[in-house]
Amino acid sequence: MAVLVGRKAPSFKASAVVDGQIVENFSLDQYQGSKYVLFFFYPKDFTFVCPTELHAFQDALAEFESRNVAVVGCSTDTEMSHWGWLQVPRDKGGIGGVSYPLVADTNKTIAEDYDVLVGDYVLNDDDEIEVEGELIAYRGLFLIDKDGIVQHQLVNNLPLGRSIKEAIRMVDALQHFEEHGEVCPMDWEKGQDAMEATHESTASYLAK
């Protein structure tokens, strides 16, 4: 599993559904210089754990927006699959009401670039292409700063849902460090005391 922290987030252009409308050539590059991005992958449309996460991000959207964070989801389904799932009400197992962008990684290249693709293509003994796994995405989450640099990443296996509270805590920690130059210890939460930064790596980050 690649560690993208400290590196430029892989760029892409793909179809997406944004507030119920299909758009072409969606890219995270549009946020660079102006917004933080919380970019998360989920395995499949029309499943069970995934809608709990998608709705949780929607329910907390105002919290992220107040912190100048754009929330963007992605799976290896098509944009039409995303759109169809959005037409299903929440109480029927759908994701009706989700307004943030859902990227369609139909070619699996985005998940591959972020190194969260479960399966892989292999050649068998007859030189025929086979697939190992389902070619879907793990539950990857990437916090990207306004310069387009990945500052936090988390990758869960398929059955393990994530924590919205922890995602918000990571945003708060990053923004506190950027504003005050103080590093945030274990379980730090917004409003608590942090620590003075002395390590070379934090100094270099502040100097960029």
CATH of the domain at 109: 3.40.30.10
Considering the domain architecture, whether residues 85 and 28 belong to the same structural domain is answered as yes
Residue 200 is predicted with a pLDDT of 55
**Rg of the chain over CA atoms, in angstroms?**
18
Considering the domain architecture, whether residues 183 and 118 belong to the same structural domain is answered as no
Domain count, the chain: 2
Residue 187 is predicted with a pLDDT of 80
Backbone dihedral region for residue 62 (phi beyond 0: left; psi -120 to 50: alpha; all else: beta): alpha
Looking at 161, 176, 197, which one is the last position of a domain? 161
Helix, coil or strand: residue 79: helix
Q: State mean pLDDT over 54-67.
A: 98
Considering the domain architecture, whether residues 66 and 91 belong to the same structural domain is answered as yes
Q: State mean pLDDT over 171-177.
A: 94
Looking at 141, 161, 181, which one is the last position of a domain? 161
123 domain-assigned:
yes
CA proximity to 75, closest of 46, 52, 99, 44: 44
Beta bridge partners of 44: none
Q: Is the pLDDT of residue 204 over 70?
A: no
What would the pLDDT profile of 153-164 be if each residue is shown by its tens digit? Answer: 999 999 999 999
97 domain-assigned:
yes
Considering the domain architecture, whether residues 87 and 61 belong to the same structural domain is answered as yes
Domain housing 203: 163-208
Give residue 1's pLDDT band: very low, low, confident or very high (50, 70, 90): low
Considering the domain architecture, whether residues 103 and 153 belong to the same structural domain is answered as yes
**Taking the model in full, what pTM does it have?**
0.90
* Lowest mean pLDDT across 9-13, 72-76, 183-187: 183-187
1 domain-assigned:
no
Considering the domain architecture, whether residues 140 and 171 belong to the same structural domain is answered as no
Looking at 125, 145, 161, which one is the last position of a domain? 161
> Which two structure tokens, joined as six digits, stand for 81?
């699959």
23 domain-assigned:
yes
116 domain-assigned:
yes
Burial 105-130 (b: 16+ CB within 10 A, else e): bbebebbbbbebbbeeeeeeeeeeee
CA proximity to 137, closest of 30, 20, 64, 39: 39
Give residue 185's pLDDT band: very low, low, confident or very high (50, 70, 90): confident
Q: Is the pLDDT of residue 97 over 90?
A: yes
Q: Which residues are catalytic?
A: 50
8 domain-assigned:
no
